Amino acid sequence: MSDRTAIQAAIKRATKAAQTGMNSLDAAALSELEQVYQQAAADIQAQIQAHAGGDGKLALSELQSLRDQVGFRLSKLSETRNVLLQQKLGEASALGVDPFTVQIPPSPPFAKGGIYGDGLLSASAAMQINNEALQFVRTFVAADGLQLSDRIWRIDRHAREAVTGSLEQAIIQGHGASQAARDFLMRGEAVPLDIQNKMGMANAGKVGKEAAGALFAGNGSPLDNAMRLFRTEINRAHGTAYLKGAEAHPDCVGTRFLISPSHPQHDICDLHASANLHGLGPGVYPPGKTPWPAHPNTLSYVVAVFKDEVTAADKAGKENAMQALDRLTPAQRIGVLGVNKHEVFKEGKLTQGMIKAPWKAVQKRIGIKPPVKPVPIPKPVKTVAPANLSLGEMISAGASIGDGFLKVAQTSSGINGPRLFEEIHKQLGALRPINTPTKVVNSGKGAEWVKAASRIFPDDWTKLADAYGPLSVRATTGRGRQSSLNHDVKGERYRMAGFGVITSKGGDGFISTGSFSTSVHEYTHRLQHVIPELDDYFQNLHARRTASDPLKRLRDLFPGYNYRRDEVAREDKYVSAYQGKVYSGYGHSYLGKHGALEVMTMAFEDVLGGSAVRLEKIVEHDREMFNLVIGLLFKYVP
């Protein structure tokens, strides 16, 4: 055996050992990651339990402190997980380059660019490839436009929303139910069963279990997404380093796409691993042509192929993708194409360009009439309905449209909030103009938040707000606020909280905000002032739903919050009783009916405010309100 052949054989053995090492690394990484999340969950449960009173329940006054502590623990979780990820990326990358550093003495004493005459890498060259692979993983931009840091941020945001949302809902609803139960008992009435069931929601043990459990709740949970990211990026680091090492070898003609024995099901990987598209053998691709990785969360590898491994049969067996597809078993083809495109393949109508094309595009190309769309919304703007629908008609229209969105966003574990928001935004943009930011007279973070919030509303709504008068915005760490002045006060002077003394230009608006979701809420108040007919829908709905409901003090519904004695609400079945807050008086801040002015603002904030937890809650707990918001977004023309 020649030295060259011996070296190539050693590389092959080292490659196989690296694959075994990667299987072990993958399992160990996911196991350690799960332990990190389990420890965080245990700590969060302990934090929540430590705040319990003598009755085992959590006082509403403890909510902010708990939010802060849980948020801090989630930040530590993120730090620990990220350190683990960087460690495993380094180990995976090292395993990728190791096969090309095997020692087969004697190595030639000369080297060029760190590559010895036998194709092996020097220690410095291997280190350089290792670093390049890690840098590639950190900066790689996927088809969705996201880098690794973006995906990590999304996972962290999801964890915060899932855990703190569960915490808030349990404590607030539990205390609201306890207050309602006291009212029933004071009147000598039996406490309804649904209120009895909610009374235990503020129990520290139950709250802790549910809040911590939100990290693990089924497919799409924070842990599930973190595991998916770990597997995807660790394999990317390994494969990228291996490919760089292989391409540096002078006798390497390409790499073979190899499926792991643990690959769970047939998919496009089956085609990549068997197709002989370049005459180098099944699944072998020249440098720069490999389709690896074929998809996220992949369980596949690449293996170096050397010149003397390519046989005459390999060269003669060169084929195109359709021929390779024909050689697969029916089960493999269905995995590659999907059921619908497989039927087209059997009919002989599938072309090579359709293999990876979405089914919708294939239908169009072969002349098949597509089925009814999940969201039956016409695209031309002229089809938007006039603003004369009744409340019931608007809710019905929203229900019809919303059913399509919910089908798209439905998963095995429930509604996927981010997917639902994206679908609403996409379909709304297809129907009518949106994305035009409102005009703000000043700059700054607060102004940017409000501009971003306004872009998710129909343009004809924001144009009316712009035409009504100048809008000033400031960022604040305090409570959000919105005030709008009428045109008949032009020239008068007012002291506006946070803005000082101003001289009205007529129609002036003032917003104080500390976040994007608050900006959606406060900008909706601005629209409420400018388009009172829009708010009439919510006023009428509230009147219908709360006709027999008594007024309750917010300080009783939310003990521990600094509400005034005259701040009251009709509780109804809103996601939060605050939504039913009733205002009195006839100041300059509102043109329409005075009454429950938070119904509209909180509804739009729930749907458009960017919180997956709040969006999922309104769908689950107040579908009628969700339907009204959707109906207005798609049907209301001022």
Would the pLDDT of 263 be above 60? yes
Give me the domain span that covers residue 558: 395-435+452-469+514-635
- The mean pLDDT of the chain is 83
Are residues 601 and 521 in contact, defined by beta-carbon separation less than 8 angstroms?
Answer: yes
Residue 105 pLDDT: 52
Per-residue burial over 164-184, b if 16 or more Cβ lie within 10 Å, else e, is bbbbbbbbbbbbbbbbbbeee
Q: Among the listed ranges 60-74, 447-461, 601-615, which one has the minimum average pLDDT value?
A: 60-74
Domain membership of residue 443 (yes or no) is no
Average of per-residue pLDDT across 622-632: 95
Residue that terminates a domain, selected from 225, 252, 276: 225
359 and 400 part of one domain: no
Domain membership of residue 382 (yes or no) is no
SS3 256: strand
Residue 96 pLDDT: 92
Query: Is this model's pTM higher than 0.85 or not?
Result: no
410 and 360 part of one domain: no
**Rounded to whole angstroms, what are the CA distances from 107 to 3, 102, 110, 115, 248?**
9, 10, 9, 11, 17
- Which residue did the predictor score with more confidence, 456 or 263? 456
Residue that terminates a domain, selected from 225, 249, 284: 225
- Which residue did the predictor score with more confidence, 253 or 549? 253
405 and 277 part of one domain: no
80 and 154 part of one domain: yes
137 and 183 part of one domain: yes
pLDDT digit string (tens) for 341-398?
Answer: 999 999 899 999 999 888 888 888 888 765 444 433 333 333 344 446 899 999 999 9
Q: Among the listed ranges 63-67, 79-83, 102-106, 623-627, which one has the minimum average pLDDT value?
A: 102-106
Domain membership of residue 94 (yes or no) is yes
> Of 382-386, 592-596, 623-627, where does the model show the most confidence?
623-627
334 and 406 part of one domain: no
What pLDDT band is residue 530 in, cutting at 50, 70 and 90?
very high
- Dihedral of CA 302/90/29/23: which sign? positive
211 and 297 part of one domain: no
- Which residue did the predictor score with more confidence, 563 or 27? 27
Number of domains composing the chain: 3
519 and 580 part of one domain: yes
Residue 218 pLDDT: 67
**Rounded to whole angstroms, what are the CA distances from 510 to 212, 447, 497, 519, 544?**
39, 11, 9, 12, 32
Are residues 170 and 222 in contact, defined by beta-carbon separation less than 8 angstroms?
Answer: no
Domain membership of residue 483 (yes or no) is no
209 and 345 part of one domain: no
43 and 83 part of one domain: yes
Please give the single-letter amino acid code of residue 599. V
327 and 418 part of one domain: no
79 and 168 part of one domain: yes
Residue 593 pLDDT: 45
Residue 372 pLDDT: 43
Would you list the DSSP string of 145-200? S--HHHHHHHHHHHHHHHHHHHHHHHHHHHHHHHHHHHHHHHTT-PPPHHHHHHHG
Domain membership of residue 210 (yes or no) is yes
Burial of 235 (0-12, 13-18, 19+ CB in 10 A): buried
Q: What is the DSSP letter of 550?
A: P
Would the pLDDT of 294 be above 60? yes
Average of per-residue pLDDT across 285-301: 85
Domain membership of residue 411 (yes or no) is yes
Domain membership of residue 543 (yes or no) is yes
Would you list the DSSP string of 333-374? HHHHH-HHHHHHHHTT---GGGSSS-HHHHHHHHTPPP---S
pLDDT digit string (tens) for 150-209?
Answer: 889 888 888 888 887 777 666 655 555 455 555 555 656 565 555 555 555 567 888 888
Please state, as a whole number, how many other Cβ atoms lie within 10 Å of the Cβ of residue 500. 8
SS3 302: strand
Domain membership of residue 371 (yes or no) is no
Residue 121 pLDDT: 80
